[in-house]
Amino acid sequence: MSTSTKPSARYETWLAILIMTLVSALAYLPLVNQLGLYKEDWYLIWSGAMRTPQDFLSLYQADRPFAGYIYQLVYPLLGPTPLYWHLLSFLLRLAGVLAFFWLLRMLWPDQKFPTLAAATLFAVYPGYLQQHNAVNKTFWLTSLTFAILSISLTVYALHLKGNLARILVTVLAILLAIYYPLVIEFYIGFEAVRFTMIWYTLQQTERKPFWPGLGRAIKIYLPYLISSAIFLYWRVFVFQSTRPTTNIGRLFSEYTNLPVYMLARIVIETVQDFYETTLLAWFVPPYNLISRATYSELALDLFCGSLAMLLVLLYYRWLKQRELSGAGDSQSDNWSQPDSRSAIPPAIRAAIGLGTVTVLVTLLPMVIAGREVNFSPESRLDHYTIQSALGVGMLLVGLIAYALRPNLRLAVIAFLIGIAVMTQVQNGADNARNWQAQRSLWWQLTWRAPQIEKGTLLFVDLAGFGFGEGYEAWAPANFIYAPGSPVPVIAAEVLTDETGFLLQKGAVEQKNHRNIRYDLDYGAPLILSKPGEFSCLNVIDGQLYELSKSDDWPIRSIAPYSRIDRVIPEETFQQPPEIIFGPEPVHDWCYYYQKAMYARQRGDWEAVARLGDEVTTKGIKPIDRTEWVPFLEGYAMSGQEQQARQLAKLIKSEQAPRREICRQRMEIASPPQNYDRDKIVSILCGES
Amino acid sequence: MAPLRARVDMGDGAERYVRREWIYAIFVILCVTGLAYLPLIIQLGLYREDWYLIWNGEARTLQDFVSLYQVDRPFVGYIYKLVYPFLGSTPLNWHIQAFLLRLIGVLAFFSMIRMLWPDRRFATTAAAILFAVYPGYLQQYNAVNKTFWLTSLTLALLSLALTVFAVQSRKRYQAILATLFAILLSAIYPLIIEFYIGFEAVRFILIWFAWQKRDAKPTLASLKRALLWYLPYLVSPVIFLVWRLFLFESTRPTTNVDRLLAGYLTLPRHMLARLIVETPQDFYETIALAWGVPPYQVFSQLTNREFLAGLILGGVAVLLTLSYYRWLKNRDLILTGQDSPNWTREMMWIGAITASITLLPMILAGREVDFSAATREDHYTIQSAIGATLFLIGFFYAILKPKLRLAVMCALIGISVMTQFGQLALKRNDWVNQKNVWWQLAWRAPQLIDGTLLLVNMPPGSGMSEGYETWAPANLIYSQDAEIPRLTGEVLYPGIAVPLQAGSVEPKNHRNIRFKLDYGKALVLSKPSQYACLNVIDGSWYQLPDDEEFSIRYAAPYSRIGEVVTGQPFSTPPEAIFGPEPDHTWCYYYQKAMYARQIGDWVEIARLGDEARQRGFEPADQVEWRPFLEGYIQAGRAADAAAIALEIKKDRSATRVICQQLESSASLPQNTPRGELQALLCDS
């Protein structure tokens, strides 16, 4: 690649690879052992653990039938341990980055620093914040890495002299080119990138006039065109997607029904997405994440970001020193050339041009398919940027080299890398907190509920980390309460206005999520709420419940429907699989609270009072004082009124929740058998 | 004033264009600012705090404006007392005034930087334009409330410009007059917004810098001179600080100095850490992120049409800027001049210092810049926007090649104009929603009982965050002269669940407007979407769409339709505020039918149904046919009832909602034709 033969030039490639690996590691690895499973990860891991590898195929039959093969292959190796998936995800990302770096070095062998900068910007690109969704994004990253590798191989083949080697490499590139769009169809835009790269490489090596050069590029591109044509034929005419967003028939009918609107949409959306992907990605996601970081998280972000910047600067310094000693080709290294007011240097122009084309053509299929880039954390539609991020890397480095004076170029590149690393680290920190909250929720449920009735429909409100789909609750619940069952016996649904309505009606519906079929029995709901970071899980008993002041409208509206009888009391307590949920947390306040709630459900007031004594002895207290209520009831019902009144005083400081609890207690139509409502009400709600 | 005094050293040909350039620059600034804020100005209305201010102006005396602000900023009320008689309740007047205030501030800033860098024509004009359309501040729509913010800012900027003028002036009387006037303004503006006091540090920097430029003396000598010159200005901030710290007792927590001090004393390390972290963060947000985050937030909510309109306006703004640049270039006015070669560095330093020290008092006061639309804390950026724009312009000139520099500045101007326009387009839609709700309520309810507590759910994009956004418009419609709100309102937040259940009464004091929130007299209103009609919920017989908010689901049973007084003349919303009555389309007939349903006038419902159908109106949500169905049944028009039932049954969800309530509700109004409804809708 590099024209230089000096020893330092040989080391340079390895050093560059080391720098990119280290910067990527700083971005993604600092909290990797604190990350877990998120969103789609859950049903994939559940499927892997409870069903056969063959079943992975059925999961993706509806939209991307070749994605399942990846899991069929990989799951037996990695199993359900989240850490392994995160490491795989990191390695896949790194492989893509290195493939891209190889491509860049083939295109501009003398541009040492700019190529490293572009690849590093791609590696830590802050417009894509889905690295934590490791299991699910395995097939996305596989497809992306294959696509980049395939293009790199194509360009490599052009540089090869021997026919056999060239044919072999081309065949490998074609094989990868066949596979990657079968996994993610809208990555097909990479085929236009491939053509552009072929054309550009030929221009560089053969320096033919435009038209003959184009003709030759088309000729070389033909075999790849055939594979793309086969893919498109299959996707458009053979494959029938049953998932609306990937169904070509539905899309086609939209275009034929509203052609002007859809065309206008393509133009506007492409412009908008281009702007968002190239520029706003460096503003909006960093702002969204870093502005809500805690101080300690911010310190970690800053540390990693600064270290990444330092690495890049040291690498530059190393390069510069070698240049001064004659290493590298300073004549063609535009990066360190003084400001030139004349024409734009060819390499810079090429980087800007190729970067722009890459971003546009990789965004376009996604936009045509009716999707769009969106940086709102809830939408997670930033995952439509990653395929364009390599174009962003080229474009930005080209623009910076073109626009800025030499001494500032380095500073801006380092700054962008620093900000991007900070963003990725903060994303990791956010997701570490999310995983912590999820683990806490499921561990507390196992402390609270020995077993849950089959057919129960869970509604889970995890404050701050809302679930987007039912599988985020039913998959972990089935891991714990129905290990070995190839169908979910405990269902779950997200609390929305519509499901809230169905709940009130007690409807029964069938659900088919990627060929996993189960019933949603809205007449058998069990509602779980963890309203704040410091609140315990509240497994709500619709007859006898306490809501926190942090509980939002949805929980308030449906709390009375929660059926505590779905918790089967007299069974052995389950243990969440440690391989997923980690070791059992220390027995803090929430442990005693859950055990007290369990004892209350059984009417074992003596046990509740004992637990109350234990927490008092240990000096453990709740943050949310309404969590004293079961203990108050336990003391009151076991004849220890004095202690009950002490707790009543504590609870009274939470006026609004207390009033609500009092009202709820007074309105119970049929109190539990051994529950002296009048006594409780007089202690909790009386004036003393 | 600046161009007349500019030190010009150029050819005769160029010299005669100097005066014309000044006019051209102002013309471009005016036009670009106009493009950003004026295209939708007649479609804007009242928002948030605007409501209680306008209510106060209409229902109470001018003196009461003073009491509104006694709790935190006692001098603010005098502004409204002065201005309200001129502008009245018409939103447009306030929006024009807000625009003019903004413009005056921009021109003051422009003249100030022209005095400091007289030869940097394009750079200073571009800085003024960027300040005018700065996208990190998106509160221009909140025109009534932001009157005092903008007044304070404009006075501060005028005061600074006069200070610079005085320093540069070679005539003693001019200098004295300008200084006196500047001191006067500097005594007023912090009394309005206390955390703008950072401008006093900016003043010192400017005096020092202006002295250095004027006399080209060494740093220390000019520092001494600057200190002397600054002394008279020191008097007013000292008096202000003594008053604010030792005399004035703010009862509003966020502006209470004692509370703040207690925070620093109890948690000194935390507060110090906060200062260290928050200051650079806010600086970065104000200077850099403001050009990316708010534009993104606005653009992502726009319709394609709005986005295109914004694109066109942004494009025109760019063209105007380019035409000005070309004009300068053709007359050799771009690069000629004698400013110091370090002018970009000067601009960056002054910009950075200005941005930092105008942010600092706000951060010290426990506040922070936040671009999330819900918090509206982007209003803490505007005082620092002058520093941000100066810094950026200096930065662009320092690091970018000329062509690209122009392109980047134009891009920022274009994006900013698009953002400001886009924000106003969103607020225009919000105002349409608000007007719809209040006009429909006026059609539905002739009068409301004293003490009614309104709980309103607005369509997406028009969420309410304070009760006054409800009670103020309601009182302006139903009780224009009452000095205490006769009708009250509260936001639907989970904290009202308990009092709503209990029907309790809670006192409320909003800026010395005192009233009681009687949860036993709640009336719940919901307009769940842009297309649905307002649903004035009768807690005993109501239907909610499947996607109705949980808050409404929760509150609906507590809604007392008896709060709507029947048999009285209908109130008309004042046109000056709510605009002319909208066309009588479906929702008008629906509201009138619901009213007739309430009084049991079945014949009238049938008549309204006939008329609506004849005119081809139909609902977006089929459940809105319900009163007409009941009317036709009760009026004995079985065929029409069957036809309406068929319409409702087209929407299974609507049918299900009605049938479910018919089945389950024990408290339907007595005159509900339950059997007939079930036969027509549910028995199949």
Reported confidence tier of residue B100, pLDDT bands at 50, 70, 90? very high
Residue A506 has pLDDT above 90, yes or no: no
Residue A251 has pLDDT above 90, yes or no: no
B518 bridge partner residues? B505
Please compute Rg for chain B using Cα positions.
Answer: 30
Residue B4 has pLDDT above 80, yes or no: no
CA–CA min distance B333, chain A (Å): 21
Residue B6 has pLDDT above 60, yes or no: no
Q: What is the pLDDT of residue B598?
A: 94
What residues contact A229, with CB distance under 8 A and at least 6 apart?
A: none
The predicted-structure confidence for B238-254, as pLDDT tens digits, reads as follows: 988 888 888 887 777 76
Q: List the structure tokens of A16.
A: 């560059």
For the segment A20-43, the average pLDDT, to the nearest whole number, is 97
Least confident of A172-181, A380-389, B608-617: A380-389
How far apart, in whole angstroms, are the C-alpha atoms of residue A109 and residue A356? 20
Q: What is the pLDDT of residue B339?
A: 53
Residue B257 has pLDDT above 80, yes or no: no
Write down the residue that tokens 């006694």 correspond to.
B70
Instruction: Report the percent of chain B where pLDDT is more than 90.
Output: 67
Neighbours of A509 (CB within 10 A): 13
Contact B640, B609 (CB under 8 A): yes
Contact B635, B602 (CB under 8 A): yes
Reported confidence tier of residue A377, pLDDT bands at 50, 70, 90? confident
Q: What is the pLDDT of residue A1?
A: 37
- Tell which residue, B622, B595, B592, has the closest CA to residue B610: B592
Contact assignment for A663 to B498 by CB distance below 8 Å: yes
Highest mean pLDDT range out of A263-277, B93-107, B669-683?
B93-107
Residue B13 has pLDDT above 60, yes or no: no
What residues contact B666, with CB distance under 8 A and at least 6 apart?
A: none
Cα–Cα distances (Å) from B538 to B45, B435, B595, in that order, read 30, 22, 11
Count CA atoms within 13 Å of residue B305 on its CB side: 3
Contact B421, B313 (CB under 8 A): yes
How far apart, in whole angstroms, are the C-alpha atoms of residue A201 and residue A205? 6
**DSSP state letters, B140-165:** TT-TTTHHHHHHHHHHHHHHHHHHHH
The predicted-structure confidence for B452-502, as pLDDT tens digits, reads as follows: 999 999 988 788 889 999 999 999 999 877 889 999 999 999 888 888 988
Instruction: Report the percent of chain A where pLDDT is more than 90.
Output: 68
Residue B336 has pLDDT above 50, yes or no: no
Q: What is the pLDDT of residue B159?
A: 97
The predicted-structure confidence for A79-120, as pLDDT tens digits, reads as follows: 999 999 999 999 999 999 999 999 999 999 989 999 999 999
Q: Does B377 touch chain A (CB under 8 A)?
A: no
Q: What is the pLDDT of residue A22?
A: 98
Least confident of A190-199, A240-249, A326-335, A616-625: A326-335
The predicted-structure confidence for B167-176, as pLDDT tens digits, reads as follows: 999 899 999 9
Could you say which DSSP state residue A234 is in?
I
Contact assignment for A298 to B277 by CB distance below 8 Å: yes
Reported confidence tier of residue A323, pLDDT bands at 50, 70, 90? low
Write the residue in B296, B370, B399 that is nearest to A280 by C-beta. B296
Reported confidence tier of residue B163, pLDDT bands at 50, 70, 90? very high
For the segment B256-272, the average pLDDT, to the nearest whole number, is 82
Q: List the structure tokens of A287.
A: 């702002």
Q: List the structure tokens of A447.
A: 């402390």
Reported confidence tier of residue B337, pLDDT bands at 50, 70, 90? very low
Contact A461, A528 (CB under 8 A): yes
The amino acid that residue B167 corresponds to is V
Residue B206 has pLDDT above 60, yes or no: yes
Which residues 365-384 of chain A have a CB within 8 Å of chain B?
A: 374-376
CA–CA min distance A62, chain B (Å): 28
Please give the mean pLDDT across all residues of chain B. Answer: 90
Which carries the bigger pLDDT value, residue A62 or residue B218? A62
The answer to pTM > 0.90 is: no
Q: What is the pLDDT of residue A673?
A: 78
Q: What is the pLDDT of residue B659?
A: 86
Q: Does B620 touch chain A (CB under 8 A)?
A: no
Cα–Cα distances (Å) from B14 to B21, B326, B483, in that order, read 10, 14, 63
CB pairs under 8 A between A and B: 100
Q: What is the pLDDT of residue B342?
A: 85
For the segment B51-60, the average pLDDT, to the nearest whole number, is 95
Q: Which residues of B466-490 are buried (b: 16+ CB within 10 A; e: fewer)?
A: bbbbbbbbbbbbbbeeeeebbbbbb
Find chain A residues with C-beta within 8 A of B404's C-beta: 402-403
- Tell which residue, A632, A659, A656, has the closest CA to residue A645: A632
Please give the mean pLDDT across all residues of chain A. Answer: 90
Strands A491-493, A457-462: pairing is: parallel
State CA B324 to chain mean position distance: 31
Contact assignment for B304 to A265 by CB distance below 8 Å: yes
Q: What is the pLDDT of residue A131?
A: 95
B509 bridge partner residues? B514
The predicted-structure confidence for A576-589, as pLDDT tens digits, reads as follows: 999 999 999 999 99
Q: Does A303 touch chain B (CB under 8 A)?
A: no
Q: At what angle do helices B402-444 and B382-399 cross, to 10 degrees?
A: 150
How far apart, in whole angstroms, are the C-alpha atoms of residue A393 and residue A362? 14
Contact B296, A280 (CB under 8 A): yes
Residue A324 has pLDDT above 90, yes or no: no
Reported confidence tier of residue B450, pLDDT bands at 50, 70, 90? very high
Residue A124 has pLDDT above 90, yes or no: yes
For the segment B46-75, the average pLDDT, to the nearest whole number, is 93
Phi first, then psi, for residue A462 (nearest 5°) are -110, 100
The predicted-structure confidence for A514-572, as pLDDT tens digits, reads as follows: 999 999 999 999 999 999 888 999 999 998 999 888 888 889 888 999 999 999 998 89
Residue B193 has pLDDT above 50, yes or no: yes
CA–CA min distance A236, chain B (Å): 29
Neighbours of A588 (CB within 10 A): 14
Reported confidence tier of residue B12, pLDDT bands at 50, 70, 90? low
